Chain A
Amino acid sequence: MWGTNLRIVLVVLGTLALYTLIANKIPQVQSEVPQTLTLGPNVTTEQLVAAGEKVYNGAGGCTTCHGLGTRAPNLLTDEKGQGPIGARCGRREPGKTCKQYLFESLDNPTAYVVAGYQPIMPVMTRQLPAEQIWAVIAFLESQGGTVDVTGTDIPASPTGPTPGASPGSPGALAGGSTDPMTLFRAAGCVGCHKIGAEGGNVGPDLSHVGARRSAESIRAKILDPASSTARGFERFAGIMPKTFGATLTAAQFEALVRFLAAHK
Chain B
Amino acid sequence: MTSALLLLQAAADTTRAYGEFPVIGARAAVWVAAEVHLMFAAFVLGVPLFAVVAEAIGVVGKDQRYDRLAKEFTRLLLVAYSATAIWGAVLTFLLSTLYPRFWAYLTAVFGPSMWAYVGLFFFESFTLYLYYYGWERWHQGRSKVVHLGLGVLLNVWGTIVMLIANSWLTYMMTPPRDITPTTDPASIKLWHAIANATWMPINIHRLIANVVFGGAIVGAYASYRFLAAKTEEERAHYDWMGYVGNFIAISALIVLPFAGYWLGREIYQYDQSMGITMMGGFMSWLWVIQAFLIAVLFLAGNYYLWIGMGRIPGAERFRPYTKYLLMVLVLGAIVWGTPHTMIADARELAAMGGSHHPLLGALGVMSAKNSAVNLMILTTFLSFLMYRRANTRPVVPWARTGTWIQAGMFGVAALVVLYFGIKGYFVEAIVRIGYSVYQVGAVLACIVFVTTIDILMGRGAQSLGAIRWGKMPARSQYALFVLAVTFTWLMGLMGFARSGIRQHWHVWQLVQDTSKYAATPALGYAAKMISACVLIFLTLVAFVFWLGGLAEKSTFVPGKEKEGARVGH
Contact = CB atoms under 8 A, between A and B. Distances in A.
B481 interface: yes
Contact of A167 (B345, B489, B512): B512
A33 B522 contact: no
B276 A64 contact: yes
Interface string B1-27: 011001101100110010000000000
B181 A162 contact: no
A164 interface: yes
B285 A26 contact: yes
A167 B177 contact: no
Given A11-B482, A29-B282, A68-B355, A19 B527 contact: yes
B258 to A, nearest CB: 24
Interface stretch (B31-39, B117-125, B288-296): B288-296
Given A24-B524, A76-B346, A226-B177, A64 B478 contact: no
A256 to B, nearest CB: 16
A199 B50 CA distance: 61
A17 B485 CA distance: 11
B355 A67 contact: yes
A8 B224 contact: yes
B277 A166 contact: no
Interface residues of A, number: 63
A146 interface: no
Interface of chain A, main secondary structure:
loop
A246 B180 contact: yes
B535 interface: yes
Contacts of B561: none
A42 interface: no
A32 B519 contact: yes
Contacts of B346: 76-77, 143
B519 A169 contact: no
Contacts of A26: 285, 288-289, 523-524
Given A11-B482, A27-B285, A242 B180 contact: yes
A23 B486 CA distance: 14
Given A12-B538, A16-B485, A24-B527, A30 B178 contact: no
B429 A7 contact: no
Determine which residue in A4, A65, A68, A69 has the highest number of CB atoms from chain B within 10 A of its CB, and name it. Answer: A68
B344 interface: yes
B9 A65 contact: no
B230 to A, nearest CB: 10
A245 interface: yes
Contact of A165 (B9, B177, B280, B518): B9
Nearest to A28: B522
A166 B522 contact: no
B496 to A, nearest CB: 10
Given A23-B289, A68-B280, A63 B343 contact: yes
A169 B500 contact: no
A207 interface: no
Given A11-B481, A23-B523, A69-B354, A246 B181 contact: yes
Given A4-B228, A224-B178, A169 B518 contact: no
A31 interface: yes
A65 to B, nearest CB: 7
A24 B14 CA distance: 31
A236 to B, nearest CB: 12
Contact of B485 (A12, A22, A68, A143): A12
A227 interface: yes
A20 interface: yes
B349 interface: yes
Contacts of B212: none
Interface string A158-194: 1000101111110110011000000000000000000
B514 interface: yes
Contacts of A243: 180-181, 509
Interface string A111-135: 0000000001010000000000000
A156 to B, nearest CB: 10
Nearest to B12: A166
Shortest beta-carbon contacts, A-B, top 4: A23-B527, A167-B181, A31-B520, A28-B522
Given A19-B531, A169-B10, A227-B178, 12 more contacts: A4-B227, A7-B478, A16-B535, A22-B289, A26-B524, A57-B343, A57-B345, A63-B344, A69-B356, A166-B17, A168-B181, A246-B181
